[in-house]
Amino acid sequence: MELHKPTMRVLKILELVDSGPKAGANLTDISTAIAVPKGTLSPILRTLSEARYLQFNEDNGRYTIGFKAFELGLAYGSNTDLLAMVQQRMVALVKSVGEICQLGILSGLDVFYLLKENPDNAISIRSTVGARIPAYATGLGKALLSGKQNDEIQALYKDYPFKKFTDNTLTCVDDLVAQIDGVRSSGVAYEQEESKGDVCCQAVPLVIDNQIKAAISVTVPKFRYLPEKQELITQQLKRQKQIIEDVCKVQHYHFEY
């Protein structure tokens, strides 16, 4: 079936702005990326802005994702039985370990944070649903990448501009592959102050339909990441992973996000 080209053009615009820099994209950026003349593009962008699917910043001439697009995403997520089930398991995980739990999926070479559940701690980790962080620098990312073959990872990260967020951030693909080999062996991915200082993380992949579709993590301030806490988190992550995977199998959930 041939897709409707004007509709696909709108979708490409939304996807481009959503996946681009936090500061947004200007008319020239969008025109170049999707190969559409500025004269054709301008009324589409104005319409999307008026309808609040994009937000236009008059100071810098850049477009970012608008509230209506965000609202639609929330409505989709809240109406799926699968995400509701996963959120319940995350609540149970937070109660058992007393730390923040997050669900992420792979979007390109970034982790897209889909769900989070906060503990009632006076000192907790700040995070945002909808945020994107490079996969190589996170426990969630390493868990998600563990479903790929090493040669595929090498190809994906060839000439990749690794950014050093902290002194512990990985800066080459060989080190990343070595850590991902460890994830496959132990079933758990680790982050030791790699995306943020004084923050540690454990994550496990969720295997649905024989593929890694998502991952859940527990993130902890370094001062609370003691051996007993580490062991508890590992046990509870693996427990909730098994429950989620079993429910998906029984209920025929496929996790297509």
**Chain-wide mean pLDDT for the chain?**
89
Burial (Cβ within 10 Å: 0-12, 13-18, ≥19) of residue 87? middle
Region of poorest pLDDT, from 35-39, 70-74, 153-157: 70-74
Q: Which domains are seen in the chain, by residue range?
A: 5-69 (1.10.10.10), 80-251 (3.30.450.40)
Whether residue 75 contacts residue 98, with contact meaning beta carbons closer than 8 Å, is answered with: no
Tell me what the mean pLDDT of segment 193-203 comes to: 93
Q: Which tens digits make up the pLDDT trace of 34-49?
A: 888 999 999 999 999 9
In three-state secondary structure terms, 241 is helix
Residues in a beta bridge with 57: 62
Q: What's the pLDDT score for residue 78?
A: 46
- 1 pLDDT band, cuts 50/70/90, is low
Q: Which tens digits make up the pLDDT trace of 161-195?
A: 999 999 999 999 999 999 999 999 999 999 999 99
Residue with structure tokens 């995400």? 83
Instruction: Read off the pTM.
Output: 0.70
For the chain, what is the radius of gyration of the CA atoms? Answer: 20
Quick one: tokens of 224?
């609370």
Q: How far is the C-alpha of 122 from the C-alpha of 245, rounded, in Å?
A: 32
Backbone torsion region of residue 68, taken as left when φ is above 0, otherwise alpha when ψ lies between -120 and 50, otherwise beta: alpha
Q: What's the pLDDT score for residue 130?
A: 73
Residue type, 69: A
Burial (Cβ within 10 Å: 0-12, 13-18, ≥19) of residue 112? buried
Whether residue 217 contacts residue 206, with contact meaning beta carbons closer than 8 Å, is answered with: no
Quick one: tokens of 92?
């149970």
In sequence order, which ranges of the chain are alpha helices (DSSP H)?
A: 5-19, 27-34, 38-50, 67-78, 81-97, 139-145, 150-156, 173-186, 227-251
Region of poorest pLDDT, from 2-6, 26-30, 39-43, 167-171: 2-6
Q: Which tens digits make up the pLDDT trace of 96-146?
A: 999 999 999 998 899 999 999 988 764 555 556 778 899 999 999 999 999
Residues in a beta bridge with 54: 65
Q: How far is the C-alpha of 257 from the C-alpha of 106, rounded, in Å?
A: 9
Q: How far is the C-alpha of 188 from the C-alpha of 47, rounded, in Å?
A: 46
Residues in a beta bridge with 115: 103
Q: Which helix (H) or strand (E) holds 126?
A: none
Q: What's the pLDDT score for residue 79?
A: 47
